Amino acid sequence: MASCAPTKIVAPLEEGAWQAGATLGRPQINDGSLPMLGVYAAKGISNARTIYGGAGLSSSLFGAIQLEGGVVKGITEPVGWKPGFSISYGANSFISARNADLRVYPDAGANMYWKKGPHIAHLSANTWIDPTWFLTRYDQGQLLAPSFGAGYRFRYRWMEIQAEYKLVNPTRELVVPQANVPGINGLGGRGFYYGIAINF
C-alpha cells in the first residue's frame, strides 16, 4: 500500500498544463509481483511548480480509501548533461471504510533529472514520514519510510509513458506471512513501477 506508484511528477509541467494518468506498481513478492493500481491528476500552476492529487485503487478494493496530494517544485532546469533538480512535498492518507480509522503520512522527496526532447531520465529519493509510528503493535514502527528510484519517462505532446525501478523501505525487513519479499540484503522491497498519462 505504501510507495505503490512511480514518482508522480519529476520535471514540472508547464504553466496551465494538465496531466492525468494511471499507475501500476509491481513490487515483487515470491516469484511474482503485486498489482498496485492508482490514478492521478496534476496541473502546472507555474513553470516551476506543479500540484498533483491521486488515489490508490488497489487499496480501495480492500476497504482503504487512499488519497494523496502534493507539490513538485523545480529548483534548476537541466542543461545538456547537467541535470535539473526538483523537490516534492505532500501527504498520503488512508481511511478505513470499515471503521473510519485514519492515517496520514506526509512525504518529501527530491529528483535529479535529465531532459532531452521527449526523453526524461531521473533518479529520485522520497520518504514517507510516519507521525503515528508509536501506534504500531510491538514497537515495529519507524519514523521514516524511504524509497529510491531510477526511471525513464517519455513525454511527447499529449502522452507520457513512465517506468521506474524502486527500492522501497530498505531500512527494515518487510514480513508477509508465508511469502518472500525480495529486497536488498533482506531489507525492504523492490520492483518495477509504471505509469501512463495524457497531457492537455
Residues near another protein, by CB under 8 A: 1-2, 18, 20, 39, 41, 54-57, 59-67, 94, 96-99, 101, 103, 105, 128, 130, 132-138, 140-142, 145, 169, 172, 174-178, 181, 188, 200
Considering the complex, what minimum distance in angstroms separates the CB of residue 62 from another protein?
A: 4
Considering the complex, what minimum distance in angstroms separates the CB of residue 94 from another protein?
A: 6
Residues 6+ apart with CB under 8 A from 124: 7, 10, 109, 110, 111, 112, 148, 149, 150, 151, 164
Considering the complex, what minimum distance in angstroms separates the CB of residue 195 from another protein?
A: 15
**For residue 20, which of 64, 54, 56, 58 has the smallest C-alpha distance?**
54
Q: 14 is written with which cell numbers?
A: 508547464
Written as one letter, the residue type at 114 is W
113/193 with CB nearer another protein? 193
Considering the complex, what minimum distance in angstroms separates the CB of residue 57 from another protein?
A: 5
For residues 3 and 26, is the Cβ–Cβ distance under 8 A? no
Per residue, what are the HEC states of 97-126? CCCCCEEEEEEEEEEEEEEECCEEEEEEEE
For residues 169 and 188, is the Cβ–Cβ distance under 8 A? yes
CA gap 102, 106 in Å, rounded: 13
18/194 with CB nearer another protein? 18
79/176 with CB nearer another protein? 176
74/170 with CB nearer another protein? 170
CA gap 196, 21 in Å, rounded: 5
Considering the complex, what minimum distance in angstroms separates the CB of residue 190 from another protein?
A: 13
Residues 6+ apart with CB under 8 A from 40: 5, 8, 20, 21, 22, 23, 52, 53, 54, 55, 68, 197
80/135 with CB nearer another protein? 135
2/86 with CB nearer another protein? 2
Considering the complex, what minimum distance in angstroms separates the CB of residue 128 from another protein?
A: 7
